[in-house]
C-alpha cells in the first residue's frame, strides 16, 4: 500500500485519482497485516485496489466526477466495494472518470481530464479513464471500473491493459451510482487475465438488494487459465474488420486470429447484422434510463443545492443547472424527449424491440461459436478534443454497445502497439456466464 501511495503521489499530474486518503488506506493495510500474522489471510488479503468514483464508499468521497456530488460522503459502501474489502483488499482511493460514466475519453469529468500514461496528448479512454491510467502507470495493481456501453473495454484498449465486463446482473449494482440501470455492469481492469480472474470471484455474486441480480453463485474464474484454445470455435464478424477500421489495428487483430488458429481453435466467419443497429438503440435506451435515474438529483435529498433561489421549483432548476455538466444535460434532454408522450412508441419502444433482436442474434450465433473476437474501436486512443462532437463520439461506440445491449460478458486484451506509439486492443465476447472461458482465452494469448 505504501508503494502504491508513493507512486500515486509521484504521478498526480495524470489526474487519475479524485480522492486519496493515505491514513484510511494504511489503516486497512495494517488490519490486513494483522490478519496475515494471525494466519487468517485469504488469497486477496492485503492486495491494494482502487475504485472508480461511480462506486460509493464510506471513507472516500463519492462524486461520479460531477459537481453535483462534490465532496459527498456516502453512509454505506457499494456491495462490490464491501465484498472486496471483506476479501481483505486494501482501498487506495477513488478514480477519476467521465461524469456519471457518460463518455469515451474521460474528457467529461467535472474535475479535469485524465492523461494517458503512454502519450500526454492522448485520452486514456472512458468512462473508466482513471482506472485505465492507474493500471497502465502502475498506480494500482487492479482497479474496478463500470461498463454500460464499453467503459471498461475501450479504456483498457487505449492504455494496453486487460479489462473484463462480466455478464449483466452478476456483480451487484447496489451503491453503483446509476447511469443506465439495464446496462450498468461493474468489472475490473488489471495487468493480466490472471489478475482479473483472481479478483472477479470475490466481486460477483447474488445480491438480494439489487432487483436485477442473478441468482447464480460466484465461481472459480481462474479455472480455464491453463485450458488453451484447442477445439474452441471462435466467430469473427468479417464485416466489422474492413471499412472504417485502422489497417494497423486490423493487422494486430488478424495476428491474434492466426495465433488462435495455430493453437487449435476453429475460426468461423459470422454475420452480426442486427448488432450494427447498436449505436442508435443504445443511445435511446441509455439516455431514457439516465433521464429517469438523474431525476433524483433535485437539490433536496443530497448533492448540490444552489445558494440562492426564489422558490422550490427555482431551487431545483438552479441546482440541476449548476450541478450537471454538459453531457449529462444533453442526455437528460434526449432521454426525456424519447420517453415523452407521442415519441415513446416511435423511439423508446422501437429501440427496446431492436434491442431484443440484437440479443437474439447473439444467442443464435453462440449456438455455433464459443466466443466472438472483434475490434473494440476503429483506432487507437485519440487526441484530446478530437472526438468533441457528440454524434461522432456516440458513433465511435459501434463495436462495444451491441454486447452491452445483450448483457454479454466482454473482455478487452492488449494485442499490439500502433506505429503512432499507442496500444491496440481486441475484444472477446461470450454467451452469458462464460467469463472463465474468455479469461482463459486471454491468458493463453498473454
DSSP 8-state code for residue 325: -
Among 144, 148, 222, 293, binds ligand GLN (CB under 6 A): 148
Of residues 129, 150, 187, 425, which one binds ligand GLN by CB under 6 A? 150
**Contact residue for ligand GLN among 104, 144, 172, 222 (CB under 6 A):** 104
Nearer to ligand GLN, 32 or 381 (CB): 381
Check residue 101 for interaction with ligand GLN (CB under 6 A): yes
| Coil/strand/helix, residue 199 | helix
CB-based contacts of 133: which residues, under 8 Å, 6+ apart? 14, 16, 106, 114, 115, 116, 117, 124, 139, 159
**Backbone angle region of 407, left / alpha / beta, with phi > 0 → left and psi within -120 to 50 → alpha:** left
Should residue 376 be labelled a site residue for ligand GLN when binding is judged by CB under 6 A?
Answer: no
CB 430, CB 437: distance < 8 Å? yes
For residue 250, give the nearest of 347, 344, 377, 336 by alpha carbon. Answer: 377
User: Which CB atom, from 24 or from 152, has the smaller least distance to ligand GLN?
Assistant: 152
Near ligand GLN by CB under 6 A: residue from 46, 117, 130, 149: 149
155 within 8 A of 132, measured Cβ to Cβ? yes
Which of 48, 88, 103, 409: binder of ligand GLN (CB under 6 A)? 103
- Closest contact distance (angstroms) between CB of 101 and ligand GLN is 4
Does 189 bind ligand GLN (CB under 6 A)? Our answer is no
Distance CA 250, CA 420 (A): 15
Q: Which three cell numbers stand for residue 163?
A: 479489462
- Asked whether position 412 contacts ligand GLN by CB under 6 A, the answer is no
Which among 99-107, 131-139, 239-247, 336-344 is the span making contact with ligand GLN, rule CB under 6 A?
Answer: 99-107
Whether the bond between 429 and the residue before it is cis, its omega within 30 degrees of 0, is no
CA distance 366 to 304: 46
Rounded to a whole number of angstroms, the minimum distance from the CB of residue 285 to ligand GLN is 10
Site for ligand GLN contains 281 (CB under 6 A): no
Residue nearest to ligand GLN (CB): 151
Stretch that binds ligand GLN, among 19-27, 109-117, 147-155, 355-363 (CB under 6 A): 147-155
The answer to the question of residue 53 lying near ligand GLN (CB under 6 A) is no
**Would you count residue 147 as binding ligand GLN (CB under 6 A)?**
yes
What whole-number distance in Å separates Cα of residue 142 and Cα of residue 48? 7
In the complex, minimum distance from the CB of residue 158 to ligand GLN, in angstroms, rounded to a whole number: 12
Among the residue ranges 76-84, 88-96, 100-108, 243-251, the one whose residues contact ligand GLN (CB under 6 A): 100-108
The one among 63, 116, 127, 365 contacting ligand GLN by CB under 6 A = 127
Take residue 252 and report the three cell numbers written for it.
494486430
Distance CA 100, CA 12 (A): 22
Residues 141/47, Cβ–Cβ less than 8 Å: yes
Strand 142-147 to strand 17-19: parallel, antiparallel, or no bridges (unpaired)?
Answer: unpaired
d(Cα 231, Cα 214) in Å, to the nearest integer?
30
Pick the piece of the chain touching ligand GLN (CB under 6 A) from 5-13, 96-104, 234-242, 433-441: 96-104
Q: How far apart are the first and last CA of the chain?
A: 26
Spacing of C-alpha 437 from chain mean position: 19
Burial group, residue 161, by CB count within 10 angstroms (0-12, 13-18, 19+): buried
Please, which residue, 90 or 135, has the CB nearer to ligand GLN?
A: 135
Task: For residue 151, state whether it binds ligand GLN (rule: CB under 6 A).
Answer: yes
Instruction: For ligand GLN, give the closer residue by CB, 149 or 303.
Output: 149
Question: Considering the complex, what minimum distance in angstroms separates the CB of residue 103 from ligand GLN?
Answer: 5
Shortest separation between residue 97's beta carbon and ligand GLN, angstroms: 8
**How many positions of this chain bind ligand GLN (CB under 6 A)?**
13
Find out whether 136 and 190 touch, Cβ atoms under 8 Å: no
Catalytic residues: 52, 127, 151
Exactly one of 24, 122, 286, 288 binds ligand GLN (CB under 6 A); which one? 286
Q: How far is CA 157 from CA 64, 122, 267, in A?
A: 22, 13, 23
Give 127 or 412: the residue with its C-beta nearer to ligand GLN: 127
DSSP state of 188: E
* Site membership for ligand GLN, residue 328 (CB under 6 A): no
Based on the shown chain and the rule CB under 6 A, indicate whether residue 66 belongs to the binding site for ligand GLN: no
Which of 19, 397, 431, 435 is the binder for ligand GLN (CB under 6 A)?
A: 397
Which is nearer to ligand GLN, 127 or 293 (by Cβ)? Answer: 127
Applying CB under 6 A, the residues found at the interface with ligand GLN are 101-104, 127, 147-151, 179, 286, 397
Amino acid at each position: 500500500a505504501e508503494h502504491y501511495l508513493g507512486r500515486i503521489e509521484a504521478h498526480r499530474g495524470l489526474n487519475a485519482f479524485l480522492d486519496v486518503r493515505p491514513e484510511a488506506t494504511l489503516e486497512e493495510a495494517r488490519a490486513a497485516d494483522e490478519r496475515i500474522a494471525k494466519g487468517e489471510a485469504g488469497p486477496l488479503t492485503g492486495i491494494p485496489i482502487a475504485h472508480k468514483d461511480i462506486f460509493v464508499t464510506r471513507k472516500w468521497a463519492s462524486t461520479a466526477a460531477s459537481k453535483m456530488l462534490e465532496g459527498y460522503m456516502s453512509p454505506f459502501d457499494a456491495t462490490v466495494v464491501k465484498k472486496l474489502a471483506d476479501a481483505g483488499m486494501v482501498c487506495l482511493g477513488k478514480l477519476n472518470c467521465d461524469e456519471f460514466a457518460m463518455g469515451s475519453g474521460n474528457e467529461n469529468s467535472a474535475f479535469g481530464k485524465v492523461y494517458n500514461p503512454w502519450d500526454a496528448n492522448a485520452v486514456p479512454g472512458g468512462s473508466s479513464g482513471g482506472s485505465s491510467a492507474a493500471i497502465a502507470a502502475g498506480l494500482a495493481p487492479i482497479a474496478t471500473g463500470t461498463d454500460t456501453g464499453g467503459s471498461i473495454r475501450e479504456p483498457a484498449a487505449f492504455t494496453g491493459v486487460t479489462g473484463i465486463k462480466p455478464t449483466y446482473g452478476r456483480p451487484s449494482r447496489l451503491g453503483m451510482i446509476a447511469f443506465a440501470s439495464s446496462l450498468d455492469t461493474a468489472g475490473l481492469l488489471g495487468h493480466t487475465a490472471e489478475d482479473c480472474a483472481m479478483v472477479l470471484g470475490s466481486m460477483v455474486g447474488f445480491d438480494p438488494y439489487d432487483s436485477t441480480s442473478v441468482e447464480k453463485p460466484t465461481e472459480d474464474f481462474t479455472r480455464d487459465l491453463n485450458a488453451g484454445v484447442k477445439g474452441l470455435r471462435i466467430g469473427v464478424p468479417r464485416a466489422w474488420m474492413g471499412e472504417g477500421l485502422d489497417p494497423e489495428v486490423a493487422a494486430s487483430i488478424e495476428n491474434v486470429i492466426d495465433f488462435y488458429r495455430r493453437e487449435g481453435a476453429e475460426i468461423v466467419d459470422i454475420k452480426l447484422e442486427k448488432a450494427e443497429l447498436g449505436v442508435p438503440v443504445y443511445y435511446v435506451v441509455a439516455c431514457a434510463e439516465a433521464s429517469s435515474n438523474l431525476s433524483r438529483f433535485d437539490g433536496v435529498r443530497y448533492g448540490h443545492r444552489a445558494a440562492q433561489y426564489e422558490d422550490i421549483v427555482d431551487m431545483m432548476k438552479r441546482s440541476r443547472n449548476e450541478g450537471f455538466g454538459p453531457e449529462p444535460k444533453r442526455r437528460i434532454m434526449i432521454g426525456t424527449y424519447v420517453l415523452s408522450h407521442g415519441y415513446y412508441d416511435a423511439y423508446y419502444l422501437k429501440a427496446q424491440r431492436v434491442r431484443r433482436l440484437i440479443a437474439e442474434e447473439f444467442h443464435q450465433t453462440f449456438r455455433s461459436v464459443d466466443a466472438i473476437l472483434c475490434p473494440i474501436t476503429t483506432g487507437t486512443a485519440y487526441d484530446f478534443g478530437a472526438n468533441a462532437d457528440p454524434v461522432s463520439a456516440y458513433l465511435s461506440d459501434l463495436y462495444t454497445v451491441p454486447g452491452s445491449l445483450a448483457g454479454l460478458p466482454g473482455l478487452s486484451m492488449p494485442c499490439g502497439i500502433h506505429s503512432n506509439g499507442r496500444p491496440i486492443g481486441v475484444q472477446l465476447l461470450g454467451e452469458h456466464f462464460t467469463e472463465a472461458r474468455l479469461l482463459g482465452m486471454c491468458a493463453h494469448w498473454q
